[in-house]
Amino acid sequence: MERITPAPGRRKPIGVGIVGLSARGGWAAGAHLPALAAVEGLELRALASGSEASARAAEAAYHVPAYTSVEELAADANVDLVVVAVKTPRHRELVLPVLRAEVPVLTEWPLAVSLAEAEEMQRAAGGTRTFAGLQGRSSPTFRWLTDLVAQGYVGEVLSATVVASSTEWGTPVTPPQLYTLDRRLGATMLTIAFGHAIDAVSMVVGELQEVVATTATRRRKVPLGDTGEFVDMTAEDQIAVSGTVPGGAVVSVHHRGGAVSGAGFSLIIDGTEGRLEVSGAEFPHIGPVSVRGVRGRGPLADLELPPSYDQHPRLAGTVIHTLAHAYTAIRDDLLDGTTLAPDFTHAVRRHRLLDAIVRSAESGRRTATHN
């Protein structure tokens, strides 16, 4: 079912329906809604919620039709794009009906709880446009870094070193976060924090061709709020990975969970002619990052993002900055037929890398990241 007519006039607004938009708040209300509102040519047209009561509350809060099933949402002729913004374990059951209705869909990352499930969703897409919530690829800073490296700022890339930490996966959790502690449910530090970070890094320096990985769960019990109770954690909270990318550069990553000193991200790219250093206090796919660099010998200097990369400068420094750029790319893809935003095929590529890391850690062997 084709509901979007691309260019040349192009200004037909895209109607968006969100699964998981609640009157009680949450990620869909706090991030997706303001991000799409910031992008010209996108309109919230409908939503879907899990019960009749929550649907009616959301309908009153957002003044759009509310449905209790994703099938009804996808059947709404005013909805051109369905956004699935709920917990990872429910992605498959919600995405497949949308794809059967041949309606374009954006699904939060991780796409699925496993590589096999992600591949099933990719196959089900057929010719329907799909988008995966790896918004770091839309980040103005990481798009700029990609161009700097491609244009030879550091010369030939020799190595890239990432050190990152998350406060989650070790520090106290709330009941709604409990599912992120179970590695079987697909929303762990490996898939979320590491997955987002390595995706952005891969855009800049290239895809890992094979990996040698060591992972561990150092904190097997995690506090449940301030109740004094401890709950089990099976998700990895220490992830160390090394490998090479096309051209031979060595990439090494250490991601640490439960950091009591706070979250952080650092990327150092060394080349034959210079160095780039990228740092941020939060997850790089949603938080601001700073860049320093030097060509040749000498001290590092602060580098400023060229304004041309930022289509939403008023949102800079907010959690929705990169998400607004992701929605901009999705809008252009749907209206102009471009392929700017990552799709399910790209999401499967990222799931394959994560699967290879798990297999390498289990076997102790170098493991290819592709079939």
DSSP alpha helices (H): ranges in 140-282?
140-150, 195-205
| Share above pLDDT 90 across residues of the chain, in percent, rounded to a whole number | 93
Q: 145 with 125, same domain?
A: no
354 found inside a domain? no
Q: Taking residues 335-341, what's their average pLDDT?
A: 96
| Share above pLDDT 70 across residues of the chain, in percent, rounded to a whole number | 97
Q: What is the mean pLDDT of the chain?
A: 95
pLDDT of residue 50: 87
- Supply the pTM of this predicted model: 0.95
Q: 121 with 169, same domain?
A: no
- Domain hosting 275: range is 140-284
The pLDDT of residue 3 is above 80: no
Q: What is the pLDDT of residues 208-222, one digit of tens each?
A: 999 999 999 999 999
Q: 173 with 201, same domain?
A: yes
Q: Taking residues 126-143, what's their average pLDDT?
A: 97
Omega before 223 within 30 of 0, i.e. cis: no
Q: 148 with 34, same domain?
A: no
pLDDT of residue 355: 98
The pLDDT of residue 352 is above 60: yes
Q: 167 with 256, same domain?
A: yes
Lowest mean pLDDT among 3-12, 57-66, 119-128: 3-12
Can you spell out the DSSP letters for 245-284? -TTS-EEEEEEE-S-TT--EEEEEEEESSEEEEEEESS-T
φ and ψ at 157, to 5 degrees? -70, 130
- Chosen domain end from 232, 265, 284: 284
| CATH number reported for the structural domain that contains residue 256 in this entry | 3.30.360.10
pLDDT of residue 315: 97
CA atoms of 232 and 222, how far apart (whole Å): 6
Q: What is the pLDDT of residues 268-289, one digit of tens each?
A: 999 999 999 999 977 899 999 9
> Does the CA dihedral 160-305-31-77 come out positive or negative?
negative
The pLDDT of residue 2 is above 70: no
Q: Which regions of 14-103 does DSSP assign to beta strands (E)?
A: 14-19, 42-48, 66-67, 81-84
Q: 110 with 150, same domain?
A: no
The pLDDT of residue 12 is above 90: no
Q: 279 with 144, same domain?
A: yes
Q: 23 with 113, same domain?
A: yes
Q: 208 with 267, same domain?
A: yes
111 found inside a domain? yes
Number of residues that make up the chain: 371
For helices 115-125 and 344-363, what crossing angle results, to 10°? 160
- Chosen domain end from 284, 315, 342: 284
Q: Taking residues 130-152, what's their average pLDDT?
A: 98
- Chosen domain end from 241, 260, 284: 284
The pLDDT of residue 9 is above 60: no
Q: 167 with 132, same domain?
A: no
Q: 248 with 168, same domain?
A: yes
